[in-house]
Every structure is written in structure tokens, then in C-alpha cells.
A = this chain, B = another copy of it.
Amino acid sequence: MTSHHDITANAADTVQADHTLRGFIGYVMKRCFNSVQADLARELEALDLRMLTFSALIVVVDNAGLRQSELAQALSVERPNLVVIVDELEKRGLIKRTQVPTDRRAYALTPTAAGKELYHTALKVVQDHEAKILAGLTDEQVRTLRDALKSIQKSADG
């Protein structure tokens, strides 16, 4: 039988209103990721970066010369959304977009010196953030977490 009960305006009770959903790992993961994303967004804001512009910058610096289509694939981002991100990074002088000589329809992306500098600064910010959110866990727990997430993703994709 399902438990039906009125909840009051009391905050402690309200927190329990989603008790059925909290039984699902998918929901716990969503709530956790929302908190991580909001917290990281605050840190990246200081560098005028969003999660996706940060991710795109990292991939372009690590893979100088990659094509826009490859960046879209690497980040699993839809093409129109990616164009907005690339435009923003180019406008800020962090990456350059050049036509691929062998394929006029393709654009290759390369980082500028400013892009490479921001890469290192931003990586440090995200590494510190990562250390903060993992502070309560042992290395062994982090390994299990990482393996579990990979296993779940594989099952969901399969």
C-alpha cells in the first residue's frame, strides 16, 4: 500500500515529499548532478565560462585542428547548440576557425594563445572543485563510483 499523508509547510516534512523518487538511483543522480552543476557554474562564472564553453575549450586545446563535427560528437552536443558555443569562443579570441583545405564545407578549430592560457586556469578551477566535492570519499569509493557510472551508462545506452 502507498502511504498518503498531508504534508505541512514544515521544511523537514517537505524534504521527505519525494521519498518514493529518492528510492531511484536515477533521481538521486539527477539531484546530485544539479547541485554539482550549480556549484561549478558559480566557480566558472568568475572566468566567464559555462559548463559547455569550458568543455569545448578543453577539447579544442587537447585536439588542435579538430573539426566542428568532431567536437559536436565528442561532447554529444547537437550541431546548432555547438555553433553557438564555437561562436562565443571565437568571438572572445579563445579559438580560431579555419576552412579545411580538402573540404570546403568543414571548419577546423585551433586554440589561440589566450585560449591555451584560459585552459590552464579553468582546469585548475575545475580540479579544485572536483577535489572539494569528493572530499568526503575514499579513493576506493571514488573508483567504485566511477566504475558504477560507466556500467550504468553502458546499460542505458545498450
Query: Which of A29, A130, A146 has the most chain B CB atoms closer than 10 A to its own CB?
Result: A29
- Knowing A61-B2, A63-B7, A141-B148 are in contact, say whether A74-B26 is a contact too (CB < 8 A): no
- Knowing A146-B25, A146-B28 are in contact, say whether A137-B157 is a contact too (CB < 8 A): no
> Is B21 touching A55 in the complex (CB atoms < 8 A)?
yes
Q: For residue A42, give the distance in angstroms from its CB to the closest CB of chain B.
A: 10
Residues of A within 8 A of B (CB): 2-7, 9, 11, 14-15, 17-21, 24-40, 51, 55, 58-59, 61-67, 70-71, 73-76, 119, 123, 126, 129-130, 132-137, 141-142, 144-157
What would 11 A/B residue contacts be, using CB atoms closer than 8 Å?
A: A5-B63, A5-B64, A6-B65, A7-B65, A14-B74, A18-B74, A35-B153, A35-B156, A36-B153, A137-B148, A141-B148
